[in-house]
Amino acid sequence: MSGIIFLKSANFERILDFYKDRIGMNLWMSQAHCTILKHGNLLLGFCEGEKPDTQGCYTFYYQTQAEIDQIYKEFEDCAESEPKINADYNIYHFFARDPEGRLVEFQQFLQPVTPIIDSIDLLQSRRSIRKYKDTYVSDELLMKVLETCRYAPSSMNQQPYYFVVIRDKTKIQKLSQIRTGALHINKAGIAVAICVDPAKTKRVSDDGCIAAYHFLLSAHSYGLGTCWIGDMNRPEVKDLLHIPHDHFVATVTPLGFPDEAPAAKNRKTAYDLMK
């Protein structure tokens, strides 16, 4: 956690309603005369006061243009303009005003950025992505994802997993045709097979699936999309990718910058999970 911005508010309850109900910030902490709200890794604290602090601009960052467009529909009544591309800063954004006149910006960077997702948001916001942009995923960014994957746990720390990165369009096309559920592999510029060498572990599927999910989360933290494709531990997959037949393929996932922002589906409650 890096810090908190505290602001005085003369209309405390109305301001909390705006940031909680309209923007969707979550309650982080409630104090005597201050309430701290959270949005990703942004903490805003509003404190009761006679005169509101209205300096500066408070920017809420999102992953896709589709999210910005959707948010604009909710804030059209207090927006200063429609969403647009700002070529100077390479962003897609619009401005609005909160009930006390503060300038609030909603934006998406049009270029890749370093991770900004905190751990809870990372776990709750990952989605299966089936539409991808044509934006090239650099080797540098890919290595950052794999650097995080080095820390995936494994049985007795044998680290038996490895990652086969496929950029060849012909191979990606063939992978997508192996089974109906694999069609999405062809929607991205890269496919990645997460594999395990059985000579290095007695927990082949456990180690493979842990490493694969580590990869999905790491990719998401860098703004990349993935989609778990099951039932790819097949001879034809291994032949195509030159993987030994006795090795285990946990999944083959597409990898790229998302061109969609799927909404969260209904989930069980925490109480439903307890048996």
Tens digits of per-residue pLDDT, 226-237? 999 999 999 999
Domain assignment present for 101: yes
User: Is residue 83 over pLDDT 70?
Assistant: yes
Going edge to edge, which strands form the sheet with 84-86? 57-61, 103-109, 91-97, 84-86
Rounded distance, CA 135 to CA 66, Å? 16
Of 62, 85, 109, which residue sits at a domain end?
Answer: 109
Domain assignment present for 274: no
DSSP 8-state secondary structure symbol assigned to residue 18 = I
Domain assignment present for 243: yes
**Domain limits at 90?**
5-109
Of 74, 109, 144, which residue sits at a domain end?
Answer: 109
**Closest to 194 in 3D by CA, of 247, 142, 153:** 247
Rounded distance, CA 6 to CA 3, Å? 10
Q: Identify whether residues 150 and 207 lie together within a single domain.
A: yes
Q: Identify whether residues 84 and 139 lie together within a single domain.
A: no
Beta strands at 5-9 and 42-48: parallel, antiparallel or unpaired:
parallel
Q: Identify whether residues 105 and 149 lie together within a single domain.
A: no
Q: Identify whether residues 23 and 134 lie together within a single domain.
A: no
Q: Identify whether residues 249 and 147 lie together within a single domain.
A: yes
CATH of the domain at 139: 3.40.109.10
Of 109, 133, 151, which residue sits at a domain end?
Answer: 109
Rounded distance, CA 190 to CA 192, Å? 7
Tens digits of per-residue pLDDT, 165-219? 999 999 999 999 999 999 999 999 999 999 999 999 999 999 999 999 999 999 9
- pTM value is 0.72
